[in-house]
């Protein structure tokens, strides 16, 4: 891995080329595969290419957050000063902006925007149930993430927005979030259930009914009453939610939007990536490419372990050379496993040109590291089918 590699103009088959006309990039994938890191690196890379790029980051690791100047939760985009970048030897022709998503704040702001008047707003915000709801139901971050994206996109202040997505066990959570929330709020069953004298008694049964009234006596919280008044005040907002949900759904399917699936070569993330790809297709959302992150690079570089040992003996002595060669052979096993699973993943996704990013070993959490990662992501020619087929033969025999 060369850190001195300057960013050369993107080649025809690079990811950079593919993303040229895109304005919204959504990085999805299993937890821990590098979505947050890749999102930041992509934004940096695109800024370097002259675009005004924003990364919307979710739960960045501390060092990354610091590198991006995201000291506290702030719902507003903030520019990484050109000077800070220049100090790391990074020249940015465009602008790099970053923000960290504060899901609770976004939800409150959304409610504020949608509320017809101050009183309704205060009623909702002060409601215990709302507080529960905003952190539990919608605050499962997905809704607020896409909602914020929709707003930023509509404001049009950036050339390109890279959206990191929350760690979710089920990738569907993210795509379905706006609809789920709308459905939840519109939930007729729920409201009928909650209406005074409604179906509550019959549906929840006597035991639950008793529990609710005991709860009310113990805590002073009239749950049914609170819920009813809560849904009463929310009912005026539902149109706003529905409209937003539709806006988001449209945005996610625009030609200028693209989903990048990030995966590691490990089995579970790869399975999730493949599942996610199917869902994207099903839902008519654009798949823009596969990024296989943290792939181990080969250790033996074509040598057999015996040859490697012999080649290393002069410099290191017999004992150490044997150790080193064994070590490199271990790396080779990892590298082969990774290539193999990357290839299978590509087949599953019908992707013949994945972006393969090596494991950069903890060097990706500062601006210089992001720049290196951006080189690998954007400017490298994509790994072609031939290369993968070649690998397969090598692996198979």
Ligand X SMILES: Nc1ncnc2c1ncn2[C@@H]1O[C@H](COP(=O)(O)OP(=O)(O)O)[C@@H](O)[C@H]1O
Closest separation in Å from C-beta 167 to ligand X = 5
Q: Which is nearer to Mg ion, 36 or 258 (CB)?
A: 36
Residue 9 CB burial class (10 angstroms; 0-12, 13-18, ≥19)? exposed
Kindly state whether residue 263 participates in binding ligand X, applying the rule CB under 6 A.
no
Provide the 10 A C-beta neighbour count for residue 156.
8
The residue within the footprint of ligand X, chosen from 180, 277, 294, 353 (CB under 6 A), is 294
Closest separation in Å from C-beta 101 to ligand X = 12
Q: Which is nearer to Mg ion, 36 or 249 (CB)?
A: 36
Closest separation in Å from C-beta 190 to ligand X = 33
CA–CA distances in Å: residue 297 to residues 6, 324, 357, 363: 21, 16, 9, 15
DSSP 3-state of 55: strand
Kindly state whether residue 317 participates in binding ligand X, applying the rule CB under 6 A.
no
CA–CA distances in Å: residue 1 to residues 4, 296, 359, 367, 373: 9, 12, 10, 16, 10
Kindly state whether residue 141 participates in binding ligand X, applying the rule CB under 6 A.
no
* Binding span for ligand X by CB under 6 A among 248-256, 327-335, 339-347, 352-360: 352-360
Kindly state whether residue 350 participates in binding ligand X, applying the rule CB under 6 A.
no
Provide the 10 A C-beta neighbour count for residue 130.
19
Kindly state whether residue 187 participates in binding ligand X, applying the rule CB under 6 A.
no
Q: Which is nearer to ligand X, 110 or 171 (CB)?
A: 171
Closest separation in Å from C-beta 80 to ligand X = 17
Kindly state whether residue 247 participates in binding ligand X, applying the rule CB under 6 A.
no
* Separation of alpha carbons 187 and 180, rounded Å: 10
Cα torsion 375, 17, 149, 246: sign = negative
Size of interface with ligand X, in residues (CB under 6 A): 18
Q: Which residue has the tokens 């113990």?
A: 218
The residue within the footprint of Mg ion, chosen from 16, 36, 103, 168 (CB under 5 A), is 36
The residue within the footprint of ligand X, chosen from 33, 114, 149, 171 (CB under 6 A), is 33
Crossing angle of helices 223-234/128-136, nearest 10°?
70
Q: Which is nearer to Mg ion, 36 or 233 (CB)?
A: 36
Q: Which is nearer to ligand X, 33 or 251 (CB)?
A: 33
* Separation of alpha carbons 367 and 365, rounded Å: 7
Q: Which is nearer to Mg ion, 36 or 182 (CB)?
A: 36
Kindly state whether residue 37 participates in binding ligand X, applying the rule CB under 6 A.
yes
The residue within the footprint of ligand X, chosen from 364, 377, 379, 383 (CB under 6 A), is 364
Q: Which is nearer to Mg ion, 100 or 200 (CB)?
A: 100
* Separation of alpha carbons 26 and 291, rounded Å: 12
Q: Where in 60-119 is the site for ligand X (CB under 6 A)?
A: 61
C-alpha neighbours within 13 Å on the C-beta side of residue 175 = 22
Closest separation in Å from C-beta 42 to ligand X = 12
Residue 90 CB burial class (10 angstroms; 0-12, 13-18, ≥19)? buried
CA–CA distances in Å: residue 375 to residues 141, 287, 384, 396: 30, 22, 18, 31
Closest separation in Å from C-beta 261 to ligand X = 11
Q: Which is nearer to ligand X, 68 or 237 (CB)?
A: 68
Kindly state whether residue 34 participates in binding ligand X, applying the rule CB under 6 A.
yes
* Separation of alpha carbons 291 and 261, rounded Å: 6
Contacting residues toward ligand X, per CB under 6 A = 31-37, 61, 167, 293-294, 357, 359-362, 364-365
Contacting residues toward Mg ion, per CB under 5 A = 36
């Amino acid at each position: 891995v060369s850190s001195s590699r300057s960013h050369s103009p993107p080649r025809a088959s690079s990811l950079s080329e593919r993303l040229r006309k895109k304005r919204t990039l959504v990085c999805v994938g299993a937890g821990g595969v590098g979505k947050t890191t890749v999102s930041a690196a992509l934004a940096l890379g695109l800024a370097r290419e002259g675009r005004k790029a924003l990364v919307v980051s979710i739960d960045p690791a501390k060092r990354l957050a610091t590198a991006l100047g995201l000291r506290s939760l702030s719902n507003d985009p903030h520019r990484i000063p050109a000077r800070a970048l220049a100090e790391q030897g990074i020249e940015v022709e465009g602008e790099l902006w970053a923000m960290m998503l504060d899901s609770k704040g976004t939800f409150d702001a959304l409610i504020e925007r949608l509320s017809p008047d101050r009183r309704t707003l205060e009623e909702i915000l002060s409601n215990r149930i709302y507080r529960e709801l905003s952190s539990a139901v919608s605050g499962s971050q997905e809704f607020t993430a896409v909602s914020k994206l929709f707003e930023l996109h509509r404001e049009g202040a950036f050339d390109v927005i890279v959206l990191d997505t929350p760690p979710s066990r089920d990738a569907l959570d993210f795509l379905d979030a706006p609809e789920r929330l709308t459905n939840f709020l519109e939930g007729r069953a729920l409201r009928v259930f909650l209406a005074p004298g409604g179906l509550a008694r019959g549906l929840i049964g006597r035991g639950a009914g008793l529990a609710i009234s005991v709860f009310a006596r113990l805590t002073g919280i009239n749950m049914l009453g609170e819920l009813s008044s809560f849904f009463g005040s929310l009912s005026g907002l539902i149109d706003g939610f529905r409209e937003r949900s539709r806006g988001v759904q449209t945005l996610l399917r625009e030609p200028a939007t693209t989903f990048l699936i990030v995966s590691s070569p490990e089995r579970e993330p790869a399975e999730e990536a493949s599942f996610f790809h199917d869902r994207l297709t099903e839902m008519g959302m654009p798949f823009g490419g596969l990024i296989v992150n943290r792939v181990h690079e080969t250790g033996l570089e074509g040598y057999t372990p015996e040859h490697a040992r012999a080649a290393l003996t002069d410099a290191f002595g017999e004992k150490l050379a044997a150790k080193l060669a064994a070590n490199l052979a271990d790396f080779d096993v990892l590298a082969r496993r990774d290539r193999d699973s990357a290839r299978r993943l590509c087949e599953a996704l019908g992707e013949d040109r994945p972006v393969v990013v090596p494991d950069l070993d903890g060097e990706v959490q500062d601006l210089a590291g992001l720049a290196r990662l951006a080189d690998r992501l954007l400017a490298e020619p994509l790994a072609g089918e031939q290369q993968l087929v070649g690998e397969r033969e090598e692996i198979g025999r």
